[in-house]
Amino acid sequence: MCSIFGMFDLQPGDDLAALRRQALELSQRQRHRGPDWSGVFVDAGVILVHERLAIVDPASGAQPLRSRDGVLALAVNGEIYNHQELRSASAYDFTTGSDCEVINALYREHGADEFVEHGLPRLNGIFAFALWDGAAQRYLIARDPIGVCPLYWGHDIHGRLCVASEMKALVGVCADVAPFPPGHVYDSASGELRCYYRKPWRDYAHTQGHDVDAPVLRQAFEQAVHRQLMTDVPYGVLLSGGLDSSLVAACAAQFARHRIEEGDRTEAWWPRLHSFAIGLDGSPDLAAAQIAADALGTVHHGFVYTFWEGLDALPEVIRHIETYDVTTIRAATPMYLLARRIKAMGVKMVLSGEGSDEIFGGYLYFHKAPSAEAFHEETVRKLDALHSYDCLRANKAMMAWGVEARVPFLDLEFIDVAMGLDAKYKMAGQGRIEKAVLREAFDGALPASILWRQKEQFSDGVGYGWIDGLKAHAEQAISDREFAAAAARYPFNTPATKEAYFYRRIFEQHFPGEACAATVPGGKSIACSSPAALAWDPAFANAADPSGRAVKGVHDHALA
């Protein structure tokens, strides 16, 4: 994982030297994402800057990646998990061992006009990239289908298009800054933004009658974890002790002793799997993570943080994650602190459990789903929104310290398998715990106390005192008079609680203006639930707090 910055549509009279300096200065704002090396490419119509975090091919994979003839220049933030398969089938003259260079190869193989339809869909990975074709004076900008990798774009006062991995690189430069949509590509030749990721499973009717084959589901996830273990640097797993992170750790432990990049034929460079957890003293997650780690035999590191350490970090957390969403900030803060610990231990990549709740309906309000079709539609909607919430949190909180977070549940091949199931088999309630189909598929892989552990929001699991303390602090920090005037100060996405107001005030200091505020989705919700899902139970409509404990009648009573 890295960062990219691009400036396009330069004009003949532009001072390229001055623009190059400006591009470098703006890219430096996100250098925490790529502390290992910086690369710059300048042509008559474009400037590309890349800040590298070297995970695969540290010796020769510096970017921007150039074609042998110098025509193509590519800046990528991401990982292409099926790069070896694509590389072996290509006649392209590769110049590095970088997994990302296959993007140039696919562009050359299919041609500019066919690349979007036939090249991009072949990529299984997480990515945001800008590709410059000097011969055609044409550029493409694209983002992975789920939006695991962040990307923003906007125009400067001269009409130049700018793109960056993080919004902070565009603040003060682009008045119209906005997130680049996942699963889309922008082609300068047509000036159009096109969706390239379309899946039949989005329609519930397409999934009806597709029963669960537990061994197939299990194998699909194991293969996803295996693919994402490609690395040439020390790595680990985030292990909260919940179902999702524990399954990731269990699968990773199967493959840790062999080197994935060499087809499992040689011993891994770092054969002991390290796991990491964080929480307040006495947190549910720390206790559960130790049980899982003991069962899996990982080298486990459980870190304790204090409420005041978390509170002190909040301004930096909000600056890094670029949101004022309450749930996201609550969960991002301990993750940010954990990333700093992980970085200090020399680890540069971790596997994490994001995405499972969206795919399998793991949030507690899914217990109230009135039908399989409604359940399925909500999982699709949550996948569509994931780039604004959990993906944003995991990526930016970890990358604040130069640690890459990979998310096997969001592996594109696994998503096709899991989202292709009829949602009637995923439904919870009436004696059936959430994500039962996933738990059953991995029967015996984990201790029962972990495999069948009740769902906790991450910000609850690190210790209930964390959320309670944040609420109490906000009550003191925001006066009643300030809060009464919230709608006047923040007419867009007006904060519904003092805690939300507190976060919004910090966000505004770093990201002023309506465009920045509009990058954060609005609406009162429980765990980012949709208005339709809120209607599943009238009690939801009055719940402003997104904590898992706030879902009355479900938390700790899922099997009632």
Residues involved in catalysis: 2
Q: What is the DSSP letter of 181?
A: P
Q: What is the DSSP letter of 62?
A: -
- Residue 74 backbone zone (phi > 0: left; psi -120 to 50: alpha; other: beta): beta
Residue 344's contacts (CB-CB under 8 Å, 6 or more residues apart) are none
Burial 416-446 (b: 16+ CB within 10 A, else e): ebbbebbbbebbbeeeebbbbbbbebbeebb
Angle at 278 between CA 275 and CA 284, to 5 degrees: 105
Angle at 359 between CA 520 and CA 276, to 5 degrees: 80
Structure tokens at 216: 């197939």
- Rounded Cα distance between 398 and 529, Å, is 25
Q: At what angle do helices 498-510 and 464-477 cross, to 10 degrees?
A: 80
Instruction: Please state, in angstroms and as integers, the Cα–Cα distance from residue 321 to each residue in 39, 304, 335, 337, 514, following that order.
Output: 24, 22, 11, 13, 18
- Do the beta carbons of residue 108 and residue 135 sit within 8 Å? no
- Do the beta carbons of residue 301 and residue 276 sit within 8 Å? yes
DSSP string of 357-412?
HHHHT-SGGGGG-SSHHHHHHHHHHHHHHGGGTHHHHHHHHHHTTT-EEE-GGG-H
For 98, the enclosing helix (H) or strand (E) is: none
Query: Hey, what long-range contacts does 430-433 have (CB within 8 A, 24 or more apart)?
Result: 431/559, 432/559, 433/558, 433/559
CA dihedral (120, 122, 127, 129) in degrees, to 10, reads: -30
Which of 371, 376, 407, 415 lies closest to 389, judged by CA? 407
- Rounded Cα distance between 148 and 126, Å, is 6
Residue 424's contacts (CB-CB under 8 Å, 6 or more residues apart) are 372, 375
- Rounded Cα distance between 299 and 397, Å, is 23
- Rounded Cα distance between 217 and 445, Å, is 14
